[in-house]
């Protein structure tokens, strides 16, 4: 089976993390960084998740998962230490057409987290269709060496140029040519 690669806008979307251990904490943090409105359900939570709940950065439902927790959610992460609970979360998510990722359980995932290189707005995501996250991680490390922090500035420069071209009402075909020319002219000094 082939995966559909995409980058998802989660700004102001309701997301759920089931489980509040170290893995749940990491998944929660990544959703917060994407601008999601995050609810976490778990009887206990890491100190960091408790702090996020105390400052209302997340909503912590201090109890076990209930299928009704999925109401209105766009996405759910099952990150408990119980494979049977994660499977229930996945099954209930499927019934409600909510995308679910059961951590480290590929058969119970609608999507996988990619290994990602981030340089400002530049993101390079790597996937192995869930077959070898370790290899994806290795590739990420290689790409991090090849694409230095200066690429964030290069993407910003291209973005500024693109905005100016759109404001100038340049013909779409000419605009496309100019943007491609600018992208080709930027030195790839960090890429080896």
Q: pLDDT at position 128, please?
A: 87
Q: In a structure prediction context, what are the per-residue pLDDT tens digits for the chain, which is 192 residues long? A: 688 888 999 999 999 999 999 999 999 999 999 999 999 999 999 999 999 999 999 999 999 999 999 999 999 999 999 999 999 999 999 999 999 999 989 899 999 888 899 999 999 999 888 788 899 999 999 999 988 889 999 999 999 999 999 999 889 999 999 999 989 887 775 554
How far the first Cα of the chain sits from its last, in Å, is 33
DSSP string over the chain: ----------TT-EEEEE--SHHHHHHHHHHHHTT-EEEEE-SS--HHHHHHHHTTSSEEE-S---GGGGTT-SEEEE--S-HHHHHHHHHHHHHTT-EEEETT-GGGBSS-PPEEEEETTEEEEE--TTS-HHHHHHHHHHHHHHS-THHHHHHHHHHHHHHHHHHTT--HHHHHHHHHHHHHHS--TT--
- Asked if residues 114 and 124 have their Cβ atoms less than 8 Å apart, the reply is no
Spatial separation of the C-alpha atoms in residues 107 and 157, rounded to whole Å: 42
Where exactly are the structural domains of the chain? 14-111, 150-185
Residue 172's alpha-carbon distances to 144, 156, 166, in angstroms, are 34, 21, 9
Q: The pTM is what?
A: 0.83
Fold of 14-111: Rossmann fold (3.40.50)
């Amino acid at each position: 089976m082939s995966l559909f690669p995409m980058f998802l806008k989660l700004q102001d979307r309701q997301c759920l993390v089931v489980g509040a251990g170290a893995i749940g904490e990491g998944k929660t943090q990544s959703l917060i960084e994407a601008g999601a409105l995050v609810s976490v359900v778990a009887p206990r939570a890491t100190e960091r998740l408790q702090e996020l709940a105390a400052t209302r950065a997340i909503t912590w439902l201090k109890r076990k998962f209930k299928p009704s927790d999925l109401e209105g959610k766009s996405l759910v992460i099952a990150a408990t230490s119980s494979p049977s609970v994660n499977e229930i979360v996945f099954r209930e998510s499927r019934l409600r057409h909510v995308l679910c990722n059961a951590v480290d359980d590929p058969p119970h995932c609608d999507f996988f987290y990619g290994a990602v290189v981030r340089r400002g707005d530049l993101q390079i995501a790597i996937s192995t269709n869930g077959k070898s996250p370790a290899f994806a991680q290795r590739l990420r490390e290689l790409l991090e060496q090849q694409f230095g922090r200066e690429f964030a500035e290069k993407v910003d420069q291209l973005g500024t140029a693109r905005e100016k071209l759109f404001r100038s009402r340049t013909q779409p075909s000419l605009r496309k040519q100019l943007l491609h020319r600018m992208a080709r002219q930027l030195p790839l000094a960090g890429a080896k």
